[in-house]
Amino acid sequence: MAVRQDTGRSSSQIKAITGADCSPITIRRHLRRKGFKNKKRLQRPRLLQRHKIARLDFAREHQTWDIQSGGGAIMIWGAFSFNGTMELQVVQGRQTAAGFVEMLQRASLMTEGPRLCGNDWVF
């Protein structure tokens, strides 16, 4: 059984499937030693069809907002990873290559990238 691919199984289920002659606690202990982490799945309410329809209706109704109706346009740039986030950068006017490089320098991407993604990060 490929445990890594089937992360939805409990240690009791793994014991039953494999026929292991040990307790579920022993299975959990061995999995932890191999680098697996025990996480309970988050229980979230299901997104029903009526919710999807309501979201789509809202998006269609508001896709053409302009400044007079409370909308407007702003372009921002940011970065995030498992380890953290970078401060959002507001892009002023049309973006040029030089302006983009300047914004990345302002955002300290070259120093923040390794902090967020480790030393082997790629931009």
State whether the Cα torsion 107-108-114-116 is positive or negative: negative
Q: Model confidence over 41-98: pLDDT tens digits?
A: 777 788 899 999 999 998 888 776 655 555 667 788 888 877 788 888 888 777 888 8
pTM of the full predicted structure? 0.34
DSSP per-residue letters across 45-97: ----HHHHHHHHHHHHHHTT--GGGT----EEE--EETTEE---EEEPSS--H
Q: Give the per-residue pLDDT at 43.
A: 78
In a domain, 60, yes or no: no
In a domain, 31, yes or no: yes
Q: What are phi and psi of 89, to 5 degrees?
A: -115, 130
Q: Give the rounded percent of residues in the chain with a pLDDT score beyond 70.
A: 86
Q: Indicate if 73 and 33 belong to the same structural domain.
A: no
Q: Give the per-residue pLDDT at 36.
A: 84
Q: Model confidence over 3-29: pLDDT tens digits?
A: 455 567 888 888 898 898 999 899 889
Q: Give the per-residue pLDDT at 51.
A: 92
In a domain, 49, yes or no: no
Q: Give the per-residue pLDDT at 6.
A: 55
The domain total for the chain is 2
Residues of the domain holding 15: 8-39
**What is the DSSP secondary structure assignment for residue 43, as one 8-state letter?**
P
Q: Give the per-residue pLDDT at 5.
A: 57
Q: How many CA within 13 A on the CB side of residue 12? A: 0
Q: Indicate if 35 and 70 belong to the same structural domain.
A: no
In a domain, 3, yes or no: no
Q: Give the per-residue pLDDT at 42.
A: 75
Q: Give the per-residue pLDDT at 59.
A: 85
Q: How far apart, in whole angstroms, are the C-alpha atoms of residue 21 and residue 16?
A: 10
